[in-house]
Each structure stands twice: as structure tokens, then as C-alpha cells.
Amino acid sequence: MDSGAQSSMVVALDIGTSKIACAVADVNERGELKIVGIGKVAANGIQDGSVQDVESAVESIRLAKEEAEAMSGREITMVSTALTGKYLHSVNREGRLVLGENEVTTDDVQRVTRLAMAFDPKVDGRSDDDRVVAHIVKGYTLDNDNVLIEDPVGMTGSVIRSHVHLAVGSESIVANLVKCIRRVGLDVEALILQPWASAASCVTPTEKELGVIVMDFGAGAIDLVCFEHSEIEKTQVIPAGGELIRRDIAGVFECSLDDAEEIKRAYGHIGPRPEDKYEKIRYTKEASGENAVQTCEFLEKIVSMRAGEILRVIKENYIDPERWTQKAAAGIVITGGMTEMPGFPELVQRVMGLPVRIGTPRLPGEQAVNLTAAEDSTVTGVLLETVRRRRLSGRIRRNAGRFSGLMGVFFRRVVFGDFAG
């Protein structure tokens, strides 16, 4: 097996409630990706983005890694992983620093960024375990100018402000996830928020500039990210998803969860069809072992009721309070496994009152392995984000090569967002 130079390839891990995906891509000197391997296995020991059973989770990650290695012919030693978790949310913060000299220095940028990233879980968190798990430096402003500047070093001003988007979540969830990955013998290159990864994969620059809402519908959670003027303004992980529909089917049909999943995939849809009254679903009741029959009409009512309820909760609690229906001129991009259910995009559009399109991975060039389904958005987004961060990290190191030791660690973490170490 070709171990290759790790710098010339990138590996992404997407650990979800229902599946784990591991993708391998080669990266050329222009930073272009070519996916050469993928491993997809059922997820065990994971629920809502957090580890419930360490041994089961480790084994599932190992199987996905081995599948990806077998297809790609590469040895995997390092991965970037998507990060999600119950109740993960975001805070937009600003740091302010009066400049001692009129010209902005690298030290000024570090200090004002650190001020913006100061976080007190008792004030800004939802539990004492909350920590900043990822962040994005949106930019800097000088004096009364509101135009964001990417790199203000060398510019002149009296006051510099940093504008940072902080993602806040449970420290223990992150620690346990990283522990499972390392148990497989893998180093963690980067932790990338799942909603940010999905957006990187399937949202256009114009949509981000105009304002867009991105919803990634997974089995255990719905990842929400909102853009305005090309910047991320809101990140939220909502503990609901396709798993609720599966459980509803299992409860009403009195079948196993595995059978409920098969029924959902084979017959699940939203919106009545003429044939629903006559099309039959045959299955076995779990407790009694009896053979049973239901109509697709009955199933459609179960699925539509739960899906509609989930969407109304999102709209009323996360979209409307901050007037995102007015801000999102480009509408809504939906991705993830649930979007493949017939009628679901139309339901999202009716409930939200905005135009909706299905987001699928946007990878340039010819691919050895095609990942084009909506459910592949996260794993491909992690690949893209990792390459982008490598380029940014290289530029930062060139511009601040004199920093080393603790100062270097700070610089990498504050500007680059590397909290995997």
C-alpha cells in the first residue's frame, strides 16, 4: 500500500448517527482535489454527534478507514473530521484594541483577536461544559470604517476591531470523538464543523453574498448555517432528523427499527399520490411475528406529520426570531440524506416560504470516485476545507515565520482555527 506524502493527499471523516464516511483525495500543486477512495459503513456507538459506546464507535471508524484504504491504495495516517453535536450553537463576538502606534502590527492582530475569543461558559454558554470548539475570523475593521479587512498588518488607524464567529459546544463531546479517532491509530489534522463543511461543498459564492440559509438534514441532527454578505452569521445544530421519522414508523407499525428504516427508504414520501390508497407495504411485527400490511397512504401521513413538525420548529425557533427569511435573498439550500425523500424539498419551501434547491457536492475536474449525492456534501466539504486551511496556514507561516513555540501555537489556533492538537 502506498503511504505517499501526507501533504499530497487529504483524508476526510464524516461521523454521523447512521453512517460513517471516509474519503481520500490526492491534491495537486494547484490545490485541486481528485477523490480516489471512499469507505462507507453503518455507524455504531454514535448518537446525535456524540460517542455513546467507545468500542463500537472505534470499530466503525476502523472499518470505514480500511474500506477507503482498500479502494484508494493509500495508507491513511491522518484525517480531518467533521464535528457536530447536540445543542452546538454560535456567538458573534467583537474585540476592540486602541493602537499604541498608528501602524497595525502582527502583535496587535493577535491581541485583538484574542480579546474577541474570550469566552465565559457561565455568561455565553448553555452549560458549564461549553467551550469554543471552532471559530472563523471574519475580518478586522479600523476606526469607524465598517468594511472588513482580511489582513490589516501595516495599515494605519487609531482603533482596531476583530470580528469573530465562535462555535460553542460540549468539550467532552469533542474530546471523546478525538479519542476514538486516535484509538484507530489516526492523527487529527483539523476539526471542521459539519455545517461549515456542507456549505463549503454545495453553496455558491453568489448565494453566500446575497444571503442564504443552509440546512443539512441528517439522521440524528439538522445542521443550520446562515450567510449574509459572504460571512457566516449563525451556526446551529438542532437535535432532530430522519431518526425521528424512523422511530415513528417503528412505533406505529410495531416493527423493528431496521425494518422501519427499510420501509422509510423504499416507500417514504411527502404529499399524497393517487396510487397511495392501493400500494401495499408488507412487513412483520417485531413482538408477535405476525405478517402485517399497511397502505402507503397511511405511511405518508406519518412521515408528513413528523417532517412538517420538525420544519415548523426550525422556522419558529431558529429562523424567524432573527428574521432570516428577510435576510436570505438567495433562499435555502438543503442537503443531507433526508433531502432525497420525494416531496421533501417542496415541503421545506411551503413551510419556510423561501425558494429551495438541493445542494450536492461541487467538485471541479474529473474524479476517480464520484461523490455527487446530497448525503456526500459533508465529507467532500471537509476535503475542500482542509485544503483551504492548508493554503491559509502556509500563507500565515510565510508572513509570521519568526513566531515559534507558544506564540506559534497561539497564532495557528487563533487565525487558522486548529484545535485538534
Tell me the pLDDT tens digit for each residue of 119-165. 877 676 667 778 888 888 889 999 988 889 988 999 999 999 999 99
Please report which confidence band the pLDDT of residue 373 belongs to, taking 50, 70 and 90 as the band edges. Answer: confident
Task: State residue 372's pLDDT score.
Answer: 82
Task: State residue 278's pLDDT score.
Answer: 93
- Which residues touch 315 (CB under 8 Å, ≥6 apart)? 351, 352
The residue that leads in pLDDT, 348 or 171, is: 348
Distance CA 125, CA 128 (A): 7
Please report which confidence band the pLDDT of residue 417 belongs to, taking 50, 70 and 90 as the band edges. Answer: very low
Among 220, 192, 218, CA closest to 52: 220
Distance CA 371, CA 125 (A): 37
Distance CA 376, CA 357 (A): 16
C-alpha cell read off for 308: 412538517
Residue 232 identity (one-letter amino acid): I
CATH code of the domain occupying 89-171: 3.30.1490.110
Under the phi-then-psi rule, with left for phi > 0, alpha for psi from -120 to 50, and beta for the rest, what region is 389? alpha
Using DSSP's 3-state secondary structure scheme, residue 30 falls into coil
The sign of the torsion formed by the CA atoms of 408, 413, 418, 421 equals positive
Average pLDDT rounded to a whole number, residues 43-72: 91
pLDDT digits (tens, 9 = 90+) for 189-232: 998 888 899 999 999 999 999 999 999 998 888 999 999 999 99
Q: Is the pLDDT of residue 416 over 50?
A: no
Distance CA 349, CA 339 (A): 12
pLDDT digits (tens, 9 = 90+) for 4-14: 444 489 999 99
Q: What one-character-per-residue DSSP string does 291-333 give?
A: EEEEEHHHHHHHHHHHHHHHHHHHIIIIIGGGTHHHH-TT-EE
Burial class (CB in 10 A: 0-12, 13-18, 19+), 116: buried
- State the DSSP H helix or E strand holding residue 390, giving kind and residue range, or none if neither: helix 377-399
Using DSSP's 3-state secondary structure scheme, residue 280 falls into strand
- Are the CB atoms for 79 and 188 separated by under 8 Å? yes
Average pLDDT rounded to a whole number, residues 158-185: 91
Query: Residue written as cell 404529499?
Result: 271
Among 152, 158, 154, CA closest to 101: 158
The sign of the torsion formed by the CA atoms of 222, 44, 341, 240 equals negative
> CA angle, 203 as apex, 199 and 209 as ends, to 5°?
105
Please report which confidence band the pLDDT of residue 87 belongs to, taking 50, 70 and 90 as the band edges. Answer: low
Please report which confidence band the pLDDT of residue 181 belongs to, taking 50, 70 and 90 as the band edges. Answer: very high
Query: What residue spans define the domains of the chain?
Result: 6-85+175-193+365-416, 89-171, 242-358
Domains 6-85+175-193+365-416 and 89-171 share a fold: no
C-alpha cell read off for 177: 470523538
Half-sphere exposure of 34 (CA within 13 A, CB side): 12
Query: How many C-beta atoms surround the C-beta of residue 1 within 10 A?
Result: 10
pLDDT digits (tens, 9 = 90+) for 234-282: 999 898 889 999 999 999 999 999 999 999 999 999 999 999 999 999 9
* CATH class, range 242-358: alpha beta
C-alpha cell read off for 179: 479519542
Q: Is the pLDDT of residue 413 over 60?
A: no
The CATH architecture assigned to 6-85+175-193+365-416 reads 2-Layer Sandwich (3.30)
Q: What one-character-per-residue DSSP string does 125-170 give?
A: -SSTTEEEEEEEEEEEEETT--S-BS--TT-B-SEEEEEEEEEEEE
- Are the CB atoms for 259 and 283 separated by under 8 Å? yes
Distance CA 153, CA 110 (A): 11
pLDDT digits (tens, 9 = 90+) for 349-358: 999 999 999 9
The residue that leads in pLDDT, 229 or 30, is: 229
